[in-house]
Amino acid sequence: MKRMITKCPGCQGTLHIAKLQCPDCGMELKNDFSLSRFDRLDDAQYEFLLTFLKSRGSLKEVQAELQLSYPAAKKKLEELLVALELVLILDDDEKVGEALGRTLKKHCKKLKCFSRPEAALGEIKKHMDQWDLILTDYTMPVMNGLEFSGILRSLGYRGRIFLVSGNLSQDVQWYQDNGIIDGFLEKPVTLSEIEKVLQKREQ
């Protein structure tokens, strides 16, 4: 049986599953099913993941099984972590969001930018477990970034949330201490600061 196709051959958008069928009785279940993060891996990444799990995380055994040098095996592990990272950016200034997106693009498998919090909430609610990291601006129409983060947590979102702002208030620390946000970044954000946020997924 072939592995699942995850990208649309026409526009390269992410595919969703619309129907499941039992091969024994023919029963069909129709809904909007999302793909798991492992389905998004290409064949080489999937093979490396299986080998890594079989070896119980031993890169030495992975090297022997796949005939790789240590640097090559370590690089493939880093690429695998990047392939599993999905990031959502929310900033009411579209140009700022797009600039941040360009900086992050090489570090994550999928990235999506929004300029309005209600649109971002709609996307997240559809596939709550799909997003690993959310970067949200503080000052936005309708609600601010802290209110947006609080709504996400009340909906059951368990991924990481970082607030990005050029004018941080004292409330920010309270939100971090109470687990609503995982941290904050002050504008202008540097590449090294972004890399530190992404590296925290491994800790």
Q: What's residue 131's pLDDT?
A: 81
Q: What's residue 181's pLDDT?
A: 93
**pTM: predicted TM-score of the whole model, two decimal places:** 0.58
Are 162 and 137 within 8 A, CB to CB?
no
Q: Place 203 in a pLDDT band, splitting at 50, 70 and 90.
A: very low
The predicted-structure confidence for 151-160, as pLDDT tens digits, reads as follows: 999 998 888 8
**C-alpha 126: how far from its chain's center?**
14
- Residue 79 confidence (pLDDT) above 50: yes
Neighbouring-strand partners of residue 162: 135, 183
Q: What's residue 99's pLDDT?
A: 75
Q: What is the mean pLDDT of the chain?
A: 80
- Residue 140 confidence (pLDDT) above 80: yes
Percent of the chain past pLDDT 70, that is, above it, reads 81
Q: Rounded to 5 degrees, what are φ and ψ at 153? A: -65, -40
Q: Place 148 in a pLDDT band, splitting at 50, 70 and 90.
A: very high
Q: Place 81 in a pLDDT band, splitting at 50, 70 and 90.
A: low
Determine which helix (DSSP H) or strand (DSSP E) holds 173, and give its type and residue range. helix 171-177
Q: What's residue 149's pLDDT?
A: 94
- Residue 104 confidence (pLDDT) above 90: no
133-165 exposure pattern, b = at least 16 Cβ within 10 A, e = fewer: bbbbbbebeeebbbebbbbbeeeebebbbbbbb
Q: Place 202 in a pLDDT band, splitting at 50, 70 and 90.
A: very low
